[in-house]
Amino acid sequence: MSKYVKDLVTKDLSSRLEGVDDALLVNVIGLDANSTVQLRKDLKAKDMRILVVKNSLAKRATEGTPLAPAFESCEGTVAVMWGGEDIVSLAKEAIKLHKDEELPAFEAKGGVMDGESLSAERVAEISKWPSRPEQLSMLAGQILGPGRALAACLTGPGGALASQVKSKSEE
């Protein structure tokens, strides 16, 4: 590949990955064309993308970006997977696809989160974390808990008093 073509591919790759801070590196080598098309379609429905890249060009394209640590120790052909709500939902999807029997070649190899390189084992750990919507619901429950307890304390004696007044008025 000529230097001019490499520069064009590098610029295209860097423009596609512009604004991406968290991504996973996955293996899709060995998937047939139909499986790959279906995989891309399923991921697009979840606002996720996947792109097979050449390591040396990916290193050049991500130089100086938060994605650079992912390609430092990368070997072999990989695909970059990004998008979704957050890195946790992305990791959950990657692990789910890894366990899918229809995609035996799919495997999470690593990635990058907050500028830190991730190993395949770390991606599996992250997939067990609660996703953003789950974290927000837990936070809302923790915020509302004391208020709910306070409301119960305030309305409890008042309700008891009201029921006693009602019973006395019926007599």
pLDDT tens sequence across 29-42 = 888 888 889 999 99
**Both structure tokens of 137:** 């619901």
At residue 48 the predicted structure's pLDDT band, cuts being 50, 70 and 90, is very high
Query: What's the average model confidence in pLDDT over 92-105?
Result: 88
Between 51 and 162, the more confident residue is: 51
pLDDT of 47 reads 92
Pairing of strands 116-119, 23-27: unpaired
Residues above pLDDT 70, as percent of the chain? 100
- pLDDT surpasses 90 at 167: no
